[in-house]
A and B are shown apart, each in its own frame.
Chain A
Amino acid sequence: MANVTIYTTPTCAYCKMTKSFFKEHNVTYKEIDVASDAKAAEVMIQKSGQMGVPVTVVEKEGKAELIVGFDQDKLSTALGIS
């Protein structure tokens, strides 16, 4: 099972779309709101090297894949959704 973390802001439409995509495919995820957590925002920027949300981190078999934005193709591949 993959460990999924998503960095979001409350007003971001693509974050909502990513989350409903997860729900649709029964993916459990941990959400971090970077609007209310400045430290988490720094972590997200450091990890992803950029400042846009959403950022999804998929950890599987000791490897972490980072996906910026609502990229359905990349998310599907990373999560093994056909």
Chain B
Amino acid sequence: MNPMNVSHPYDLIIIGAGPGGCAAAVYAGRKQLKTLVITESFGGQSIVSNSIENWIGEKTISGVELAKKLEAHVRAQETVTVKTGEKVIVVREVGDMCISTLDWKKLSSVAASANAACEYEVTTDKGGVFRAKALLVASGGRRRRLDVLGEAQFDGKGVSYCSTCDAPLFRGKDVAVVGGGNAGLEACVDLFPYAKKIYLLNIGDKLGGDPITQKQVFDSSRVTVIHHAQTMEIFGETLVTGLKYQDTVSGVEKKLAAQGVFVEIGSIPNSEFVKDLVQMNKYNEIIVDHKTLATSRPGIFAAGDVTDEIYKQNNTSVGDAVSATLSAYNYLLNISKQTPAAQETV
């Protein structure tokens, strides 16, 4: 049987085209699933990276180059249609026999969750409405903001979320990097050739990130690491002149003079559009079964940074998305076994 031999518009809609969404599209293409990819753009969050050193098969590749390669691979799939420049705003289920939740522990396989009566309808910000029998959410994450006074006012006026882009504009200036994880450390490295002095504000008592990057930061005489620092306010006139932080141990508020503030405090999942459909954890990450990548809703699968996956890497997103696609394929096979129309074509 072939899941394409049904009257529904799409077998599978993939939301997002970072490494995960693209891997899903390639596998969906190879399984001949009638697939729609809806994405704002290709490449995912590492598009801003000037050099990615851990993408398997490439010693080094820029985010833009990686995005181009991923896009070309997706567009080579005959059964896959691509819609770019559109953002999914809501997903709702269509059909009166939808099962609202499932218990993975009680299922022998993902196919056992199949529910032929249910379809999903995806609406985009450009007014597009699309339907599919299965959904793969690979919408990734976006940069977390500090949510402090002055952050929005000085966005682009000294506050930056892209050290790779904007570091050269801070030549000879004193800057603050907020965030002691890997992204914060890498922002420091981006700033080394330009900034005069770098304050690295870390909320905890030790830095995260890769040992290699940590060493680069520790070895630099220009970086001052400030632990237990909770950023309270960014201030300035036309442009940023400094920030205020609180020492979380002593409770004392302190001020720093800086012309740049680089915010590198992690990401938040792009999961709003399925918030009423699938179970999420307290961080709004979609909870998935890590064997099948199924969500709590039959027919909806998820992979990558939008899920409760721990490591949030390009490469892990790809692996998860492949598993999710194969699970979706099994789910679709099982649905078509259940429907009379499909039985005729077997």
Query: Is A13's CB under 8 angstroms from B158's CB?
Result: no
Query: Is B160's CB under 8 angstroms from A13's CB?
Result: no
Residues of B within 8 A of A75 (CB): none
Is B239 in the interface zone, CB < 8 Å from A? Answer: yes
How far, in Å, is A80 (CB) from chain B's closest CB?
18
The answer for the CA separation of A17 and B42 in the assembled complex, in Å, is 11
The answer for the CA separation of A34 and B169 in the assembled complex, in Å, is 7
Contact with B along A27-48 (1 / 0, CB 8 A): 0000000110010010001000
Give B180-207 interface residues, CB cut-off 8 Å to A.
190
How far, in Å, is A58 (CB) from chain B's closest CB?
19
Q: Which of B48, B156, B167, B169 sits near A13, CB closer than 8 Å?
A: B48
The answer for the CA separation of A72 and B160 in the assembled complex, in Å, is 21
Query: Is B165's CB under 8 angstroms from A51's CB?
Result: no
**Known A9-B166, A14-B48, A45-B169: A51·B64 in contact at CB below 8 Å:** no
Is A4 in the interface zone, CB < 8 Å from B? Answer: no
Residues of B within 8 A of A68 (CB): 156
Query: Is B168's CB under 8 angstroms from A51's CB?
Result: no
Residues of A within 8 A of B162 (CB): 12, 14, 52
Q: Which of B62, B85, B160, B164 sits near A51, CB closer than 8 Å?
A: B160
Is B47 in the interface zone, CB < 8 Å from A? Answer: yes
Query: Is A53's CB under 8 angstroms from B165's CB?
Result: yes
Residues of A within 8 A of B167 (CB): 9, 11
How far, in Å, is B127 (CB) from chain A's closest CB?
15
Query: Is B47's CB under 8 angstroms from A9's CB?
Result: no
Give A32-82 interface residues, CB cut-off 8 Å to B.
34-35, 38, 41, 45, 49-53, 68, 72
Residues of B within 8 A of A12 (CB): 48, 162, 164-166
Closest residue of chain A to B156, judged by CB? A50
Is B63 in the interface zone, CB < 8 Å from A? Answer: yes
Q: Which of B85, B156, B171, B238 sits near A52, CB closer than 8 Å?
A: B156
Residues of B within 8 A of A72 (CB): 85
Query: Is B49's CB under 8 angstroms from A50's CB?
Result: no
Is B244 in the interface zone, CB < 8 Å from A? Answer: no
How far, in Å, is B31 (CB) from chain A's closest CB?
31
Closest residue of chain B to A46, judged by CB? B238
Query: Is A35's CB under 8 angstroms from B168's CB?
Result: yes
Residues of A within 8 A of B85 (CB): 72
> When A and B form their complex, which 3 residue pairs have the shortest distance between CB atoms, in order from nearest?
A35-B168, A50-B156, A12-B165
List 20 additional A-B contacts (Cβ < 8 Å) besides A10-B168, A11-B168: A9-B165, A9-B168, A9-B169, A11-B165, A11-B167, A12-B164, A13-B50, A34-B168, A35-B169, A41-B168, A49-B157, A51-B157, A51-B169, A51-B170, A51-B239, A52-B160, A52-B162, A52-B165, A52-B166, A68-B156
- Chain B residues within CB distance 8 Å of chain A: 47-50, 62-64, 85, 156-158, 160, 162, 164-171, 190, 238-239, 260
25 A-B residue pairs with Cβ-Cβ distance under 8 Å, sorted by A, are: A9-B165, A9-B166, A9-B167, A9-B168, A10-B168, A11-B164, A11-B168, A12-B164, A13-B49, A13-B62, A13-B164, A14-B48, A14-B165, A17-B47, A17-B64, A50-B157, A51-B156, A51-B157, A51-B166, A51-B169, A52-B162, A52-B165, A52-B166, A52-B169, A68-B156
